Structure 1
Amino acid sequence: MTFFTPLRLAAVGACLMALTGCASTSSPADESGTMTVNSSAPLLPSVLFAGNAEQYQGWHCQPADQNLVTATNTNDLRLWSLHGAWQLPQAVVANGARYQDGGISFWNRGNQAMVETPRGQLQCTLGEERNVLTRSERPGVMFFGHGNEPGWVVALAHDSPTLTLELNYGEERIELPYMVSVMDNEAGRVVLENARIEPFFRVRIEAGACFDNMSGFPFPARVTLSYGGEQFSGCGQGIAP
């Protein structure tokens, strides 16, 4: 997994927006626009991963009434909003911890944080925290997503373009090959579809702050699953080796 590329800013009030990504081994389409299938799994955008961080932190912020997700690495902070993500290098500060890239900065001390953008400031309070999923917990999985009511899971294999779906709280379990129809590394967006005519499915993964609607736990990606004529929404994260 590579690190985030340099990010450009988009000032939209107190909201945060950013774009990032990394190269993929999969080609979403050939010159005719037809989707192609590779025998190896694609490299997902690095914005979907926590880096070497061990935890995700969820932050509740005002006055925009929005929630943020962070993951603290050795020399930088990964920050996700509802609209995208940043990688902020560590900066020198007398008290607490400060991370900054251009006009965007994140400063925190204990359970309080302040986020500054060219258009405003957010005052944040630490909410839920959770440990980053690892390969020892999810062997062979490079991306894990899930949702609730009814419970569902999608897991992408790390060594081949196949995914496993578990539906209705695990009562139905299927393994299917997929094609990459969209791989937007700059925006951290991936769309996967069935490599066979039936059954149709689509998995849309987008970088951005996501919170489990039952536990409140923070994640760096929103996941939308379309299958069996239904659409399911949930959260997910990349899992590094």
Structure 2
Amino acid sequence: MLIRESVFLLAVLSGSSAFSGDIPFGFSTQVACETVTGRVGFAEGAAILDLGGDISLLHQSISASGAKYETEAGDLVFWIKGDEASLVADGAQQTCQLSQEAFDWTAGGNEPGWRIGVAEGRLEALLDYGETSLDVDVPEARLFDGALWYEGLELSLFLRPTLCHDDMTGMPYPESVTLKRGEQVLHGCGGAPLALLSGSDWRIEEIAGQGVIDASDVTLTVSPEGQVSGQAGCNRYTGGVELTGEGLTFGPLASTRMMCPETLMVQEARYFEVLFTVDRFDIDETGALVLYSLDEVVITARR
């Protein structure tokens, strides 16, 4: 990360001509295309597009309508019109939907404890374990070193779309955040952990240390609203997801009642059994979803 003299960075999503009304902070704008999902963050004249961990820096180009962003090489184009967009990659075009439902944004860190919340165009900060509070307008985002940046009058923040773990709870977050106030520099995490889980299907590769049966279809999909669904190998299932600052749990679940070959039924029963024991999750260095029970890996999945 580059630091130039006293200029530090504040990553906050501010107004973009592509949208009307309140704009989500950071990378809270969800992108759901035909074959890939992710998120996007905007700055003046540019955007950072994160599709399944593949991060691209796009610059705004001239268009007759909407807001058009593309790479310098022109091999990736993201064109926004209202709450819809089109994505052109490798010569293929697909339609995308944008969602700004959960635009409230939070970030925080420890030692000393600090928290930042952004909603309705205002940024509220609690610093020094809550002893210091700030309430300011969200400034306009700029780009610096491939990240979104702001600099305010009293504090600055730098936001990068990289996996971050809370250093007390271990909870994974989708954004790494650095805060500077005067000579004090603090580090922490931002965004919603649920954003790491939601989106396209996770395809289960291992259940309780055993690989899934060849050609069997075991999937897990988490919605931004906190619901889980998928295919358990034979039957489909739906249910709830609870994600707190301490961990992750699934259930209660409901499933269809089809009968399949015994091997699939045994695998399905094992899948449901371990899914109910899950107490936390992580994303490993390869991008795989790892579900734990009492610090033991019980399910591994990949998009």
Shorter-chain-normalised TM-score: which range? 0.3 to 0.5
Q: Give the number of the structure with larger relative contact order, counting CA–CA contacts within 8 Å between residues 6 or more apart.
A: 1
TM-score (structure 1 length as normaliser) = 0.42
- Higher Cα Rg: structure 1 or 2? 2
Bigger helix fraction: 2
